[in-house]
Every structure is written in C-alpha cells, then in structure tokens.
Amino acid sequence: NTAQQLPLSELLRDFRRVSPAEIEGAWKRLYEHSGSHCAHQNPGDCPGESCDFKTRHKYVSLVTGSVLRFWDLIKECQRGETVKVYRVETKDGNRFVGAGIPGSRVEEVKEAIRG
C-alpha cells in the first residue's frame, strides 16, 4: 500500500464530513459484498470466480500436522512465493496451524508428500 498525503485545502475541497447515519447503509452494503466478492476495480484484472483479492472470507488449503519434514517440498511447490503459515479456528471450535497452499497447487503438494 502506498499512502499519499494531501494538503488540508484539497481535503476540504474534495471531501465533506458525513454523519454515521448518512454512511451506514453504504458501509453495510460494502461490508456484505466484501464477504464473497473481490475488490478488483477493473474486471480485466480479476482472474475469475475463485478470486479472493481483498475479500473478508478466503478459502485456504492447509498442510497440517508434522509439516516440518515436508517443508522443503512445500516451499518447492510454492514456486518462489512465500509460504504463509495460518492459525485457524473452525466454526465448530477445532484449531489448526498449517502451511497455506494455493488451490492451484494442492494436487502437486499432495503428490510430493506421498512421494
């Protein structure tokens, strides 16, 4: 993210203060929409139905359990991307820690682990 500082004169010229009551409806619509829709401004930038860019809900495949012995395989399957570690609690209260795997690489990771 990059932030740009605007002079106060520009802020006052281009924006106006609104009350919570004025913005509440729009905020609620945006909040609901962001649960399952990406935030791409240009449809051409969106890779499609599975896009989760800036959504509140994401589907992540995890490798859990004794993953350290497979760490190099997991890193290899990420093809240069950073391996993200997730701590998750499911709706029914189960907790997991695991390495996140992009959906497009799940089968590749499974095969590598099965070896």
Q: Which of 32, 82, 88, 75 is nearest to 55 (CA)?
A: 32
Q: Which residue has the higher pLDDT, 57 or 27?
A: 27
Q: Per-residue pLDDT averaged across 27-44, rounded?
A: 86
CB 58 within 8 A of CB 88: no
Q: Per-residue pLDDT averaged across 9-17, rounded?
A: 90
Q: Per-residue pLDDT averaged across 34-49, rounded?
A: 82
What lies within 8 Å, CB to CB, of 31 at 6+ separation is 56
54-106 per-position pLDDT tens digit: 888 777 789 998 888 888 888 887 777 788 899 988 889 999 999 988 777 88
Per-residue tokens: 69: 């012995």
Q: Per-residue pLDDT averaged across 8-28, rounded?
A: 92
pLDDT at 1 over 60: no
